[in-house]
Amino acid sequence: MHGQAESPAARSTYSRVAIWLHWSIGLLVILNIAIVLVRENFEALSRTMMGWHKAIGILVLALSLVRIVWRLTHRPPPLPPMAAWEKGLSHLVHFLFYLFIIAIPLSGWLWMSAAETHRPISFFGLFIVPMLPVEQSKALAESFGEAHEIMGLATIGLIILHVAGALKHHFVDGTNLLERMIPGLRNR
Ligand code: HEM
Ligand code: HEM
């Protein structure tokens, strides 16, 4: 997903918008995974937490559409020097992230829309998210649910790889990679 050409004008950090979208989506995705993983320990709050999970997911979907448009119209800074396999792996992980931040919330939304009981999805109490026009069927709902869970759990593995890669390139290879994505570290 990275532009390869290194023109003299290429920037050395991500744009403010790209950074803002990276961290807002990234933290919301981590929060959403944490919510489903811990909610069973909070019996009384479990239903409310599931409501947050759905609303946060819809917010991630909206932010991700903006992010993808931004990404397609703004070239990221070129990668620092690294082995070809590391470049390949980082492109693959980034590509899967872009795919999943759309496909995971969308599959959750489709899952709820295909379910035989339409439980309303409230967007933080502000409005009710409409159901998507899909057939209501148990089998279809189950398929969307399965896709949702597989991609959601796979994301945990991707996050571990992604963070490990970022820390390795920053601290072990000394390429200051984190500065590109952490505003406080910029221009130092
Ligand atoms: C604490 C966790 C995280 C850290 C430390 C982190 C760090 C970074 C850094 C340093 C980059 C820039 C890499 C480069 O310069 O090429 C980056 C890019 C990226 N990160 Fe993260 N990240 C985190 C969490 C996440 C999460 C949860 C997601 C997905 C939901 C995510 C998605 C992405 C994507 C898609 C890119 C590529 C941006 C592009 O070039 O288009 N990150 N991240
Ligand atoms: C950022 C977006 C989202 C992420 C990363 C995410 C991730 C996950 C994960 C990891 C699970 C647990 C899978 C398992 O334990 O097997 C899950 C379950 C679930 N998700 Fe999502 N999800 C997102 C958005 C949504 C949306 C938008 C909806 C519905 C509108 C939704 C509805 C559900 C439901 C109903 C469950 C089942 C919970 C249970 O175990 O009872 N999710 N999600």
pLDDT in tens, 69-90: 999 999 999 888 999 999 999 9
For residue 101, the CA-to-ligand 2 centroid distance in Å is: 12
The per-residue DSSP string of 101-146 comes to HHHHHHHHHHHHHHSSS---EEETTTEEEPPPS----HHHHHHHHH
178 Cβ contact partners less than 8 Å away, ≥ 6 residues apart: 166, 167, 170, 185
Q: What is the pLDDT of residue 24?
A: 98
71 Cβ contact partners less than 8 Å away, ≥ 6 residues apart: 1, 18, 98
Ligand 1 touching residue 180 (CB < 6 A): yes
pLDDT digits (tens, 9 = 90+) for 14-46: 999 999 999 999 999 999 999 999 998 998 999
Residues of the chain with pLDDT under 70: 1-11, 186-188
For residue 22, the CA-to-ligand 1 centroid distance in Å is: 6
For residue 113, the CA-to-ligand 1 centroid distance in Å is: 31
Q: What is the pLDDT of residue 151?
A: 98
